[in-house]
Amino acid sequence: MDSLSQYLELYRLNREALDAHSAAPLNALRPAAFEALAGVRLPERGDEGYERTSVQDMFAADYGVNINRVNIPADVAASFKCDVPNLSTLLGVVVNDAFHPLRQLDERLPQGVTFKSLRQAAVDNPELVSAHYGSLAPLTDPAVALNTLLAQDGVFIHVERGVKLDRPLQLVNIFSAPTSLLAPRRVLVVLEDGASAQLLVCDHTQDNSTQYLASEVVEVSLGRDASLDYNHIEESSPLTTRHSQLYVAQNAGSRLSAGSITLTCGSTRNNFSIDLHGEHAECTLSGMVIASGSQHADNNVVLRHLAPRCHSNQLFKYVLDGEATGAFGGRILVTPGAQYTDAYQTNRNLLASTSARMHTKPQLEIYNDDVKCSHGATTGQLDAEALFYMRTRGIPEAEARNMLMQAFMADVIDNVGMESLRDRLRHLVEKRFNGTGALCGDCAASCREHVEK
C-alpha cells in the first residue's frame, strides 16, 4: 500500500467520525477532495526536474490520525523557555492539530479582529468561512487534497475593513503525542480592505523520540491596501517531518512581507504560491535555513505577477553543515498584462562542510517587455582568507566560523518587518550556530498565565 492509499482507506472507514468532529464548511469539501485523489499519487523526488524532497516518502510512514479528537495532554508551557528578548503578542496555541483555548484571548483582541479555532469559526460564521476556505489552495494538488480530506480543525484569523492591529498575533504549533502522529493543520487568514496585522507562527516538538508529520495548508487573502507581516519559525526535532503550503492572493495596493526561518528540523518542505492580482501590490519574501547532521530543508516558490506596476523581492539563504541537504526552486511568472513589473529573486548558499549538498533552480518566465526582473543563485564555502585573517587576530577557528555564518544571514534578518522579532532572531541564530539551542518562545510563567487549565 503506497503512502496515499493508506489515508484514502482511513477516510473510507471513518467518514462519519471525521464529519461529526468537524464543521459544515470543512466537511463540504471532503467529497471533492476524495474524488480529486482518485488515481493520482503524491510527488516523488525528481518530479520537478531536479533533486527535491519526495512527498511520497514524507507521508509513507504509518502515522496515526486523531479522528475522534481524543484529548492528548501537552505541557504547553514547556515549549516556552528562553533567554532572548520577549515579544509581546496575542497568543494562540495549536496542540497537534487542535486549537488550544487560551484564557481571555477574546477579551484581549481589538474590536474587529477574530483569532480562534477554524472549526468554531465555521459554526459561528459559516458564510465567511465557506467563502474563503479552499478558495486559494487547489484540490488539483494531491497534498492539498489530502489535507482537506483529513482536516477537522485549524486556525481562523479575520481582520475587518480598516482595522490596524498594533500588537502581533502569535500562533504556536506544538507536537505532543505518545505515538507517531499526522497533524493535518489548516490556517485561514482574511484581511479586508485597508486592514493590517502581524502574525508570527512558531513550530515546536516536545518529544524528540517520536515521529511526527505536519501537513499544513495556509490560505491568506489580502484585500485592497491590506498589509500583513507573516513570519514562520521552525524549531522541530530530527524525527519531525513538515510539509507546508502557503497560498496568498493579493489585491491592489496590498503589501505582504513573509519570512520562513528554519532553525532546526528533520525533513521540511515549504511551498509558496503567491498571486499579485491588483496594481501596486508588493511582496517581500525571505527565507533562512540552518541545517546540520542529516537534516533536509526544501523551499519552493511560485510567484505570479498578474497585474501591472507590482513589485516583488525574494531572498533565500542556506547554511548547511554535516550531511545536511537543501533545495531551492523559485519561479517568477510575469503575465502579458503585468507591465512595469519589478521582480527580483536571489538564492545564496553556504556549505560549511564538504559533505553538505545544495540543489537550486531559479527561474524567470516573462511575457512582456516593460519589466525589470532578475534572478540568480550561488553556492560556495566559507571565505578561507577571512577565516585565516580572523584566526591571526586570535579568534578560535570555531568562533570565527560561527561569526562568518552569522554575518552571512544578516540581510535575511534585516528583511523581517517586526523590529522586536529581528532582535530575537539575531539571538536565536547566534545560539543555533554556537550549538547552545535556540528556543524562541516566551517564558514558561508568561505562557501558563494565558493557558486554560
Predicted local confidence at residue 78, as pLDDT: 62
Predicted local confidence at residue 54, as pLDDT: 85
Predicted local confidence at residue 42, as pLDDT: 86
Average pLDDT, the chain: 89
Predicted local confidence at residue 127, as pLDDT: 95
Q: Is the pLDDT of residue 74 over 80?
A: no
Q: Is the pLDDT of residue 49 over 60?
A: no
Q: What is the pTM of this model?
A: 0.93
Between CA 417 and CA 230 the distance in angstroms is: 9
Least Cα distance to 272 among 250, 297, 301, 306 occurs for 301
DSSP strand pairing (90-95 vs 98-100)? antiparallel
57 and 176 Cβ atoms separated by less than 8 Å:
no
Predicted local confidence at residue 308, as pLDDT: 97
326 and 270 Cβ atoms separated by less than 8 Å:
no
Residues 428-450 pLDDT 10s: 998 898 876 555 544 333 344 44
Predicted local confidence at residue 50, as pLDDT: 52
Q: Is the pLDDT of residue 17 over 60?
A: yes
3-state helix, strand, coil in the chain (%, to 5): 25, 40, 35
Q: Is the pLDDT of residue 82 over 50?
A: no
Q: Is the pLDDT of residue 277 over 80?
A: yes
Residues 317-348 pLDDT 10s: 999 999 999 999 999 999 999 999 999 999 99
211 and 239 Cβ atoms separated by less than 8 Å:
yes
117 and 153 Cβ atoms separated by less than 8 Å:
yes
Dig out the grid coordinates for 140 from the structure.
488539483
Predicted local confidence at residue 453, as pLDDT: 37
Cell 509558496 sits on residue:
272
Q: Is the pLDDT of residue 190 over 90?
A: yes
Residues 99-149 pLDDT 10s: 987 777 888 899 999 999 999 999 999 999 999 999 999 999 999 999 999
DSSP strand pairing (212-222 vs 181-191)? parallel
Residues 209-248 pLDDT 10s: 899 999 999 999 999 999 999 999 999 999 999 999 999 9
Between CA 206 and CA 214 the distance in angstroms is: 14
Q: Is the pLDDT of residue 83 over 60?
A: no
Predicted local confidence at residue 48, as pLDDT: 62
5-19, 102-116, 287-301, 380-394: segment of lowest average pLDDT? 380-394
Highest mean pLDDT among 43-52, 169-178, 179-188, 393-402: 179-188
Cell 531559479 sits on residue:
362
Integer angstrom CA distances of residue 43 from 3, 153, 275, 362, 386: 11, 25, 23, 20, 42
Cell 496555541 sits on residue:
93
Predicted local confidence at residue 342, as pLDDT: 95
Least Cα distance to 330 among 311, 342, 343 occurs for 343
112 and 451 Cβ atoms separated by less than 8 Å:
no
Least Cα distance to 48 among 368, 333, 300 occurs for 300
